[in-house]
């Protein structure tokens, strides 16, 4: 484990205990099977990054409430709901190293449990009593579903450019980070400029995080990933490392890569050649730089806040989001 | 068309125009495909019963707002979201006489469009600025997803009794009617006893409505239904007419019916024999009586309100819910 990761984990240990407790406390469906299916994904070792962001964003904005975790779990339930639906949509087999819920049970049960988790996150949002928070959270879900549909509509589209890619990852990832950080500020009754700064931090962090995640599919093994390497490409999902490589590649290499994308049954040797080309044409390096640039912007967004433990942790998390990819 | 249906339609003509307009006005996703998929189901001739209930419940509680339709559509979006997910879950082929969205497009797109509609209904709920309304609406979704999962878990279960059946239809249907009526009262800032009366009206109406709906599967042709007759049984869904028949049937007939339930490829002749047995053992009649009893309770719940056009319309709707089944 990297020093940075250890440092972050040590700093959030107490928060994590509260989040884990709140996740179990607030689940309680009235039908037991729902709890089992939801728990299968929820308690399979997620990082709880989104709830932690909300809690620290709130504290950095001056909130001294003790029970922040009960609202913070909104973002983990929401995240779990979308993971569950995405896995059905993508026909995924592994998630966090475990068989996906739609295979352990069946796709209908996974879809409906996702609906339950979505609804539970909105019920908890309602309990904040803050209509602005509820609008943020309902808005996140609207954007995320649209981002996923857009991604689906462009499945296998070799002409997908950076603009659409950025819009897709904004919708499917950044809005949730952004919403968690904004909600933290709103719960702290922060001034509008502080809420906007938190929003910007979450937005850039989310983009950097997704770019790093998209890199992992080309830089890590199946065992490290907890899901199949090269899965994005097999599902027809073009991400920035590939998009950039296609833009930069010479004709013959571009044609070869496009043919690979159209054939989801590519061999390990073919996948390795693709990775070599991504190195040669700078697709990997370019993505890393874009992610680093968003990390820089995320940290800059926090410039107006007091330099305290909360701010330093949020900066460390931004650094970590990026360092995962290298 | 029955006289009662004509009378109701004449009374709600203006409300319907407002609801149709609001449904189109508030949809506007930022990605066009989402609007097409959502519109495929939304604008395929639904009755708009749930929005109409909310509007009239609100007016009966004294609300004089002109723009009720913008909140009333919450319940149509929510209904459409659950229909879209249910059709995927059930592997249905027809809905309102049209091919289902998951066949016109694909199941992933239908799941994600359902998520979008769910989120849109919660965004509109947030705009009421009333946390109590938001809690009601998030609660509806929680209950509905659990009702569907429970139904799924009991697929083909010949031992399903009336108690579980009632809990399933309460969750999957009655809570939405109940929530629409309660929300109408809350938007009117009604006194708690008025809100409770509206809630009770919606609850009993919802149960009666679902029982009548469950009867239609055994009393109407595919053309009249707009979906395949006998579909419930083919999907392993045991509803009250069958549950009651099984309870009342003599050993030999009960065994024959149970065998039919286990074989979803039953012939038309077998289905007709089942319907004859449901008549003989009173399964049809019993369900009709249960529905009539809930219609009576729905109307009684409105007893404390002034006898005006709104109350008369709500009573007519309750009568109509029942009359559909005969």
Write out pLDDT tens, residues B266-298: 888 899 899 999 999 999 999 999 999 999 999
CA–CA separation, A54 vs A205, rounded Å? 13
In the predicted structure, residue B200 carries a pLDDT above the cut 60: yes
What is the average pLDDT score of chain B? 90
CA–CA separation, A323 vs B247, rounded Å? 65
The answer to whether the CB of B110 falls within 8 A of the CB of B80 is no
CA–CA separation, B203 vs A41, rounded Å? 34
CA–CA separation, A326 vs A284, rounded Å? 10
CA–CA separation, A299 vs A303, rounded Å? 7
Write out chain B residues lying below 8 Å of A140, CB-based.
119
Least confident of A243-257, B192-206, B218-232: B218-232
CA–CA separation, B296 vs A170, rounded Å? 52
Query: Token pair 């592994």 is at which residue?
Result: A94
Name residue A94's beta-bridge partners: A99
A150 at the B interface (CB within 8 A)?
yes
State the ipTM, two decimals. Answer: 0.84
pLDDT at A222: 58
Write out chain A residues lying below 8 Å of B122, CB-based.
122, 134, 137-138, 141
Name residue A95's beta-bridge partners: A98
Q: Name, in order, each residue with C-beta under 8 angstroms of A70's C-beta and a sequence gap of 6 or more.
A: A22, A25, A26, A124, A127
Q: Is A248 exposed, middle or buried (0-12, 13-18, 19+ CB in 10 A)?
A: middle
Q: pLDDT tens digits for A260-302?
A: 998 888 888 899 899 999 999 999 999 999 999 999 999 999 9
CA–CA separation, B289 vs B292, rounded Å? 5
Q: pLDDT tens digits for A174-196?
A: 999 999 999 999 999 999 999 99
The answer to whether the CB of B301 falls within 8 A of the CB of B214 is no
In the predicted structure, residue B96 carries a pLDDT above the cut 90: no
Question: What are the tokens at B161?
Answer: 């009794």
pLDDT at A94: 80
pLDDT at A325: 64
CA–CA separation, B206 vs B42, rounded Å? 20
Q: Would you tell me how many other CB atoms lie within 10 Å of the CB of residue A276? A: 10
pLDDT band at A304 (very low <50, low <70, confident <90, very high): very high
CA–CA separation, B174 vs B202, rounded Å? 7
B151 at the A interface (CB within 8 A)?
no
CA–CA separation, A257 vs A278, rounded Å? 10
Least confident of B32-36, B67-71, B245-249: B32-36
What is the average pLDDT score of chain A? 90
In the predicted structure, residue B229 carries a pLDDT above the cut 80: no
Separation in Å, CA of A116 to nearest CA in chain B: 5
Q: Name, in order, each residue with C-beta under 8 angstroms of A304's C-beta and a sequence gap of 6 or more.
A: A193, A194, A197
Q: Give me the domains of chain B, ranges plus CATH numbers.
A: 3-323 (1.10.600.10)
pLDDT band at A123 (very low <50, low <70, confident <90, very high): confident
The answer to whether the CB of B279 falls within 8 A of the CB of B198 is no
- Count of A–B CB contacts within 8 Å? 153
Q: Would you tell me how many other CB atoms lie within 10 Å of the CB of residue A66? A: 7
Q: Name, in order, each residue with C-beta under 8 angstroms of B133's C-beta and a sequence gap of 6 or more.
A: B125, B183, B186, B187
CA–CA separation, A44 vs B259, rounded Å? 41
Separation in Å, CA of A77 to nearest CA in chain B: 13
pLDDT band at B29 (very low <50, low <70, confident <90, very high): confident
pLDDT at B51: 96
């Amino acid at each position: 484990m990297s020093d940075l990761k250890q440092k972050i984990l040590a700093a959030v240990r107490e928060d994590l205990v509260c989040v884990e407790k709140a996740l179990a406390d607030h689940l309680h469906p009235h039908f037991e099977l729902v709890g089992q299916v939801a728990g299968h994904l929820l308690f399979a070792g997620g990082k709880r990054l989104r709830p932690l962001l909300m809690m620290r964003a709130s504290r950095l904005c001056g909130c001294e409430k003790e029970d922040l975790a009960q609202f913070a779990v909104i973002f983990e339930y929401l995240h779990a709901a979308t993971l569950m639906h995405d896995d059905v949509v993508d026909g995924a087999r592994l998630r966090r190293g475990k068989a996906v819920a739609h295979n352990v049970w069946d796709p209908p049960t996974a879809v409906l449990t996702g609906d339950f988790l979505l609804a539970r996150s909105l019920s908890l949002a309602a309990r904040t009593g803050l209509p602005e928070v509820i609008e943020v959270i309902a808005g996140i879900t609207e954007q995320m579903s649209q981002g996923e549909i857009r991604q689906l509509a462009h499945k296998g589209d070799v002409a997908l450019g950076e603009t659409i890619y950025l819009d897709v990852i904004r919708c499917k990832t950044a809005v949730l980070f952004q919403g968690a950080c904004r909600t933290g500020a709103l719960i702290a009754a922060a001034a509008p400029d502080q809420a906007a700064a938190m929003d910007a931090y979450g937005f850039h962090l989310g983009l950097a995080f997704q770019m790093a995640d998209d890199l992992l599919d080309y830089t890590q093994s199946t065992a490290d990933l907890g899901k199949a390497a090269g899965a994005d490409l097999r599902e027809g999902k073009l991400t920035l490392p590939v998009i950039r490589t296609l833009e930069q590649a010479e004709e013959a290499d571009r044609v070869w890569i496009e043919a690979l994308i159209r054939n989801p049954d590519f061999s390990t040797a073919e996948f390795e050649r693709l990775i070599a080309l991504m190195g040669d044409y700078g697709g990997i390096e370019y993505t890393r730089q874009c992610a680093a640039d968003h990390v820089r912007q995320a940290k800059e967004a926090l410039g107006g806040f007091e330099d305290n433990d909360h701010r330093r942790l949020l900066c460390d998390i931004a650094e970590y989001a990026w360092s995962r990819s290298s």
